[in-house]
């Protein structure tokens, strides 16, 4: 039901954006305004962002099957990255056009630009309100929302340029406003590409420090060592953890596993934790002294840092 509501709000925002984008392209050519054309290009990216979000939501809802053991949940990350790259490509084209018009500015219909931009402000406020009703914990939805918010700022800059042209006849104000839009587009594009790239590279999500998690795990009662600790995101706000946990000789592996999983869920929001729990071998921990031996690691090639409980050091 929640996903259906999200789709409904996103579809409403998409309808508003597409309808006004068509109007703005026509007016941009009539007024010879690059700022309006830049806004229209940004609105195109907004529409693409929302359409991709809707597509990704539908794809991510498919059941897990065959080789896709996590389903298609990363479809939203693919769309977020495509959205970010499109923003950067559009900003490159608009930068080229802006420089050309700064050198040789055409006449601009300031009044037409001002009125169109003010209507655009209203449309973007309405679309942003629709988007705010959806689940913004999703990178996909949040990315689309930020696009619309950025577009709102761009329309404000365009409205100011239209007013300046009307009042002073300074035609270059239009190109300067388009550069403001370009800067906002680059900022949004880089943010989306960076965030989606971190997920594809299996980086630990923001707000979850692997060192802190590892210290908490190895500090749990009965734990001797934690290694092969991996923390990543399947998609936005879906954190996954796996680790190999060694328990002291005679310890209750089942109780330790449940205790660690409970702490991970309550303290770090990690609801999907796969833990391989074993008793520490005698070659690793001396049963009489409880101290680590100088023998090789429990795993031949543990990944990452090996964390040991100081009580057994």
Q: Tens digit of pLDDT for each residue in 238-289?
A: 899 999 999 988 889 999 999 999 999 999 989 999 999 998 876 555 555 5
Count of structural domains, the chain = 2
Residue 205 maps to a domain: no
pLDDT class for 40, splitting at 50, 70, 90?
confident
Q: Furthest-apart CA pair in the chain: how many Å?
A: 89
Does one domain contain both 13 and 131?
yes
Question: What value does the mean pLDDT of the chain take?
Answer: 81
Does one domain contain both 181 and 221?
no
Mean pLDDT in residue range 21-29:
82
| CATH value at residue 230 | 3.30.70.1350
Does one domain contain both 34 and 117?
yes
For residue 279, give every residue at least 6 positions away whose Cβ sits within 8 Å of its Cβ, in sequence order, or none.
Answer: 246, 247, 248, 249, 250, 251, 253
Does one domain contain both 90 and 220?
no
Q: pLDDT tens, 69-105?
A: 777 878 878 877 887 888 788 788 888 878 887 888 7
Q: How far is CA 55 from CA 11, 17, 72, 152, 193, in A?
A: 11, 17, 11, 24, 19
Residue 2 has pLDDT above 80, yes or no: no
Domain boundary among 179, 200, 221: 200
Residues recorded for the chain:
313
Tokens of 223: 């734990």
Does one domain contain both 130 and 148?
yes
Task: Compare 27 and 292 and report the one with higher pLDDT.
Answer: 27
DSSP single-letter state for residue 305: -
Residue 27 has pLDDT above 50, yes or no: yes
Query: Using CB atoms within 10 A of its CB, is residue 78 exposed (0-12), middle (13-18) or buried (19+)?
Result: middle
Residue 91 maps to a domain: yes
Residue 253 maps to a domain: yes
Residue 252 maps to a domain: yes
pLDDT class for 298, splitting at 50, 70, 90?
low
Residue 294 has pLDDT above 50, yes or no: no
Q: How far is CA 256 from CA 95, 189, 265, in A?
A: 58, 44, 14
Domain boundary among 148, 173, 200: 200
Does one domain contain both 8 and 88?
yes
Residue 52: what pLDDT? 77
User: Looking up tokens 């070659």, which residue turns up?
Assistant: 283
| CATH value at residue 28 | 1.20.1510.10
CA atoms within 13 A of residue 108's CA, in its CB half-sphere: 33
Task: Print the domain residue range for 117.
Answer: 2-200
Domain boundary among 200, 219, 250: 200
Q: Is the pTM of the predicted complex or chain greater than 0.85?
A: no
Does one domain contain both 154 and 246?
no
User: Looking up tokens 């392209």, which residue turns up?
Assistant: 25
Does one domain contain both 262 and 130?
no
For residue 263, give every residue at least 6 positions away whose Cβ sits within 8 Å of its Cβ, in sequence order, or none.
Answer: 216, 217, 220
Mean pLDDT in residue range 155-183:
82
Least confident among 42-56, 113-127, 223-237: 42-56
pLDDT > 90 in the chain, percent: 17
């Amino acid at each position: 039901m929640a996903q259906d509501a999200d789709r409904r709000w996103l579809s409403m925002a998409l309808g508003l954006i597409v309808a006004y984008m068509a109007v703005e392209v026509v007016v941009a050519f009539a007024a010879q305004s690059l700022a309006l054309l830049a806004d229209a290009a940004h609105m195109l990216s907004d529409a693409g962002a929302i359409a991709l979000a809707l597509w990704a939501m539908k794809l991510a809802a498919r059941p897990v099957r065959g080789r896709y053991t996590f389903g298609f949940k990363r479809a939203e990350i693919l769309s977020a990255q495509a959205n970010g790259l499109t923003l950067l490509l559009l900003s490159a084209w608009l930068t080229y056009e802006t420089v050309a018009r700064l050198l040789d500015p055409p006449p601009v219909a300031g009044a037409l630009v001002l009125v169109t931009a003010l209507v655009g402000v209203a449309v973007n406020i309405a679309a942003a309100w629709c988007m705010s009703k959806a689940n913004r914990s999703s990178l996909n939805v949040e990315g689309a929302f930020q696009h619309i918010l950025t577009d709102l700022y761009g329309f404000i800059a365009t409205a100011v340029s239209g007013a300046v042209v009307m009042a002073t006849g300074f035609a270059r104000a239009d190109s300067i406003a388009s550069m403001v839009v370009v800067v906002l587009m680059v900022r949004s594009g880089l943010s989306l590409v960076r965030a989606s790239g971190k997920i594809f590279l299996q980086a630990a999500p923001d707000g979850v420090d692997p060192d802190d998690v590892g210290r908490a795990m190895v500090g749990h009662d009965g734990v001797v060592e934690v290694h092969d600790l991996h923390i990543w995101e399947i998609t936005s706000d879906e954190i996954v953890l796996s680790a190999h946990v060694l328990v002291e000789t005679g310890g209750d592996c089942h109780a330790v596993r449940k205790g660690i999983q409970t702490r991970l869920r309550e303290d770090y929001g990690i609801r999907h934790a796969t833990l391989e729990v074993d008793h520490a071998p005698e070659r690793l921990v001396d049963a009489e002294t409880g101290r680590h031996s100088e023998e090789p690691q429990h795993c031949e090639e543990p990944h990452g840092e090996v964390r040991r409980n100081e009580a057994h050091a």
